[in-house]
Amino acid sequence: MRIFQTHIYIISIIFFFINVCRSEYSSEFHFPNEREEIIDGFFSKSRHTNNWAVLVDTSRYWFNYRHIANVLSIYRTVKRLGIPDSNIILMLADDVACNPRNRFQATVYNNAERKLDLYGDNIEVDYRGYEVTVENFIRLLTGRHLPDTPRSKRLLSDDRSNVLVYMTGHGGEEFLKFQDTEEISSYDIADAFEQMWEKRRYNELLFMIDTCQASSMFSRVYSPNILATGSSQTGQNSYSHHLDPELGVAVIDRYTYYNLETLEYVTLQSQKTLQYLFNTYDVSLIHSTPGVRHDLFERNLNKVLITDFFGAVNNIELTLKGYKLSRGSENDIPDIKQNTIRDKSDEKIEKINHNNDDHLIPRNEYKMIKVDFKKSAMVSPLFLLGSIALISGIIFISKIVN
């Protein structure tokens, strides 16, 4: 009897369950959004979604052939690994390929064997010749361009961008020369990076520099998620790798050369990490001690792929369904309520911009950028006072002398 009773209990429980289940799944509605969202696809371990590269050669003239070759070699590498030209900003004096002293016109080689023409048929120099200035470089990093700057000259990175900044040229302790006319200091670079971080213009940044005393250039950097590496320690020189006797100039620097030895074997699918790259640095070959600064960088270098900075990211997500659309005839555009709110504020911003057109270029005493006739005609009262004082002084003196 007892056993029978428990059986009944069990059976009734089972029945109850079946009932519940049936009621769960027997509704008359069709429920399209029931399933949990499944995201199928491939996502990189890094959190970035796009890659940018800023490649700068700060020197000019024929004898600095190797610096152009350095930059073009890195340019070739990042392009080979999938960063599109629209995401590469190349700053280059570009006076070597067609230099009269170049025996091999319209070419740039990074090796005396001259097998690979870096100049090739498809390079896009964004800042050329005298455009390679400290001002333009800072504008590029901070994003403060004059309004007519084309898209290709802008670094339009966002909070999900990994940015590679490669620089080469002649430098000294805490400065890097820009084309013999000006120089950028390590503080300027550090401040520019901080400006980028303030507006989240990068997710992670790799700063790579091949110059003398390279490590001093990133010693002042203080913004997070920046990884920096350079060809030499403070106090050390960096050296060129070898000379092309027919060109008569050195064709590549040692540090870049040995970086390329590794990078040439990296493919998009490669799992080689930056730690691996840094481990290949051999002081006896490079002739200087390469510096690596990773105290600001959060990820373990063993987990950072080389392609996180030198290649394009390849996140994708499969689309599982379309969004159902209906359509009547071609001219049947559904009636939409027009926005009743007129946005007057746009006009106000326009007005602010328009009103101040005269001041687009700051009144700057150090550089003569713009001669404003309206301004110069209006003598400021202070200046008037000063000149009156000066003239009266002269008259006074002359009277006394006579």
Partner 1 sequence: MSRKERELYEKHQVSNRLHIIGSIWLVFLIGIPIWWKTTEVYRASLPYKEVQKWQNPNSLYINFSIQLSYVLPNDIGKDVNIDLLNKKIQSEFDKNNVIGNNSQESSPVDDDFEYTYPPKIGFSFNVNTKSTNKWNSDIGLIKDIDENFDDLLTLDTKNDDEYNIYILKQKESAKSFADIYIGKNKQFMVFLKELTEENIIKYSVPIIINLFENEHTDIISSFTEEREENESKEEIKKMRTFKYASNYQILYSLFNGNVNDYIVNWDIEKAIKSYFSPFFETLSLISKFEISSQIQNFGTSPLSAKYSNTNDNAHYYLETKNLGHFINSAEWNLASPVSTAPPINFILYIPPISQSPLYIHDSKGDILETNAFLIPRWGGIVIDKNRNTTDAEANTNGNSNYYNYTVNDLQPIMELFLDQLRSLLGINEIKFLPTDLPRNVRVLYSTDSKRGITSWELDQLLRKRTVQNLINASRTLNSLAKLVGSLSNMVVLDKIQEKVLFALECLDNAYKEINGGNYKQVFLYSKNALVASEEAFFDPTMVSMLYFPDEHKYAVYMPLFLPISVPLALVLKEEFKKRKKNKKEKENNEAVVDNKEKKEIIESSTKEVNS
Q: Which is nearer to partner 1, 242 or 348 (CB)?
A: 348
Q: How far is the CB of 240 from partner 1 (least distance, A)?
A: 28
| 175 three-class SS | strand
Residues forming a β-bridge with 168? 57, 210
98 is catalytic: no
Q: How far is the CB of 375 from partner 1 (least distance, A)?
A: 13
Distance separating alpha carbons of residues 28 and 271, to the nearest angstrom? 52
Q: Which is nearer to partner 1, 9 or 43 (CB)?
A: 43
Distance separating alpha carbons of residues 63 and 226, to the nearest angstrom? 32
Q: Which residues, in sequence order, are CB contacts of 102 under 8 Å at separation 6+?
A: 62, 96, 247
Q: Which is nearer to partner 1, 283 or 318 (CB)?
A: 318
Distance separating alpha carbons of residues 125 and 152, to the nearest angstrom? 9
Q: Which amino acid is at 184?
A: I
Phi/psi at 326 (nearest 5 deg)? -120, 160
* From 67, 170, 241, 287, active-site residue: 170
Q: How far is the CB of 270 from partner 1 (least distance, A)?
A: 12
Q: Do residues 80 and 311 lie in contact, with contact meaning Cβ atoms separated by under 8 Å?
A: no
Distance separating alpha carbons of residues 95 and 144, to the nearest angstrom? 27
Distance separating alpha carbons of residues 238 and 254, to the nearest angstrom? 8
Q: Which is nearer to partner 1, 130 or 222 (CB)?
A: 222
Distance separating alpha carbons of residues 124 and 90, to the nearest angstrom? 7
Distance separating alpha carbons of residues 230 and 216, to the nearest angstrom? 9
Q: Which is nearer to partner 1, 113 or 346 (CB)?
A: 346
Q: How far is the CB of 174 from partner 1 (least distance, A)?
A: 11
170 is catalytic: yes
* From 48, 67, 212, 241, active-site residue: 212
Q: Which is nearer to partner 1, 53 or 247 (CB)?
A: 53
Phi/psi at 400 (nearest 5 deg)? -65, -45
| 253 three-class SS | strand
- Tokens for 312, please give them: 């394009």
**Taking Cα atoms as reference points, which of 236, 218, 235 lies closest to residue 288?**
236
**Look-up: residue for tokens 């359509």?**
327
Q: How far is the CB of 38 from partner 1 (least distance, A)?
A: 9
Q: How far is the CB of 247 from partner 1 (least distance, A)?
A: 28
208 to 58, 60, 109: CA distances (angstroms): 14, 20, 21
- Tokens for 10, please give them: 């069990």
Q: Which is nearer to partner 1, 11 or 156 (CB)?
A: 156
Residues forming a β-bridge with 172? 175
Q: How far is the CB of 100 from partner 1 (least distance, A)?
A: 32
Q: How far is the CB of 332 from partner 1 (least distance, A)?
A: 7
Terminal-to-terminal C-alpha distance of the chain: 144
| 42 three-class SS | strand
Q: Which is nearer to partner 1, 253 or 308 (CB)?
A: 308
Residue numbers annotated as active site: 170, 212
